[in-house]
Amino acid sequence: MVTKNIALRLMYVGTDFHGWQVQKNAVTVAETLERAISGAVNHPVRVVGCGRTDAGVHARVYIANFRTNSKIPLDRLPLAINARLPHSIVVTKATEVPADFNAIGSCLQKEYTYLIYNSRLRNAFYVNRAYFYPQHLDEQRMMQAAAHFVGTHDFAAVRSVGTDVRSTVRTIRYCNVQRTEDLISISICADGFLYNMVRAITGTLVYVGIGKLDPDDIPALLEGRDRTAAGPTLPPDGLYLTRLWYHEDIGVQTAEAIPIVPTL
């Protein structure tokens, strides 16, 4: 009986779940997925996810791996799992990976994208899909500020206290701000993220966008390591996991983790 390590690529709308990680008394993505995979392969399953997204956070792409001795052909496994999933979670690919592959440990870097709907009036179709912020945001100022987040820095000032971490130093590869009409999207790529780091960086960029902070305040803000000096932690429903990098060919980016690039 050969045990295989299987990487699943999936997507999910986070609105109906209490985040990724299995919890007592709360419906989570991981638990829902485990139940569906178990039904498809006919034995209990534990998944390892590429990240612990919070309640309400979405994943346009996500990788989770699990072990099985099932003989289901891999090209049929997504459909078999999806038949047991709510429609807000969709498995889009199944690939066999080496035994030592781990969805979080093998991940080279990730990109999150935060969407802000910046208009005087709400858009009904963006409820739970973007953060509504009616006061005008100057995206040029936000782009200038975003450049200061790129590189290797201590990001304690944009970290919500949660679980302990060995170090609050991370490397941001790029931090891009783009406006398309009323929608501002902020994409942040890093080798790893602290708790609420993206939502706190984007909240800080909002403060810059309304003139409450200056772009050139950012370096001192980071050096100060003081959470209260930075902007607010924005709500989860504008946040999406959007890109993933691995060495293995599992349906996401396979290129070597890209080096630090200047923000456009």
Q: Is residue 87 involved in binding a second copy (CB under 8 A)?
A: yes
Site for a second copy in 27-66 (CB under 8 A): 58, 60
132 or 195: whose CB is closer to a second copy? 132
Closer to a second copy at the Cβ: 43 or 122? Answer: 122
Catalytic residue from among 16, 54, 138, 237: 54
Nearer to a second copy, 2 or 124 (CB): 124
Which residue is it, tokens 């979405």? 58
40 vs 7, 28, 31, 47, CA distance in Å?
Answer: 15, 19, 14, 14
Q: How many whole angstroms separate alpha carbon 37 and alpha carbon 178?
A: 38
127 contacts a second copy (rule: CB under 8 A): yes
Please report whether residue 124 would count as binding a second copy according to CB under 8 A: yes
CA 111/CA 191 separation, integer angstroms: 9
Q: How far apart are CA 137 and CA 131, in angstroms?
A: 13
| Binding status of residue 90 toward a second copy by CB under 8 A | yes
Q: Which one among 69, 123, 152, 160 touches a second copy, defined by CB under 8 A?
A: 123
Two tokens, residue 213 = 């902070």
Residue 72 or 90 with smaller CB distance to a second copy: 90
Q: Does 89 bind a second copy (CB under 8 A)?
A: yes
- Active-site residue, 100 included: no
Residues 2-21 that bind a second copy (CB under 8 A): 11-13
Is the Cβ–Cβ distance between 86 and 32 less than 8 Å? yes
Q: Are 176 and 264 in contact (CB under 8 A)?
A: yes
Helix/strand/coil for 145: helix
Q: Which residues are catalytic?
A: 54
